[in-house]
Amino acid sequence: MKPKTLAILGGSGAGKTALSLELASNYDCAILSLDSLSVYQEINIASAKPSLGERKGIPHFGIDVLHPNELQNIHNFIQEYHRAQAFCQKHNKHLLIVGGTSFYLKTLLCGLSPSPKLSSSEKLEIDSTIHHLGDLNAQYAYLRRVDLPYASKLKPQDSYRIVRALEIYFSTQTAPSVYFANNPPKPILKSCEIFEIYFARELLRTRIQERTQEMLNKGLLNEVQTLIARYGTQHQWAKSIGIKETLAYLNYQKSWDSSSTKPQSPIFSLESLKDSISLHTAQLAKRQGTFNKTQFPPHFCGTANEIYSQISSQIFCNFC
Selection from 50, 19, 84, 87 nearest residue 300 by Cα: 19
On whether the CB atoms of residues 299 and 193 are closer than 8 A, the answer is yes
**Length of the chain in terms of residues written:** 320
Give the strand pairing for 94-98 and 5-10: parallel
13 appears as a binding residue in the annotation: yes
12 appears as a binding residue in the annotation: yes
Residue type for position 18? A
Residue type for position 282? A
Cα three-residue angle 51-57-63, rounded to 5 degrees: 50
57 appears as a binding residue in the annotation: no
Tell me how far apart the alpha carbons of residues 293 and 283 are, in angstroms, rounded to a whole number.
16
10 appears as a binding residue in the annotation: yes
18 appears as a binding residue in the annotation: no
Tell me how far apart the alpha carbons of residues 255 and 261 are, in angstroms, rounded to a whole number.
9
219 appears as a binding residue in the annotation: no
Which residues participate in the annotated binding site for ATP? 10-17
Which residues participate in the annotated binding site? 10-17
Which residues participate in the annotated binding site for substrate? 12-17
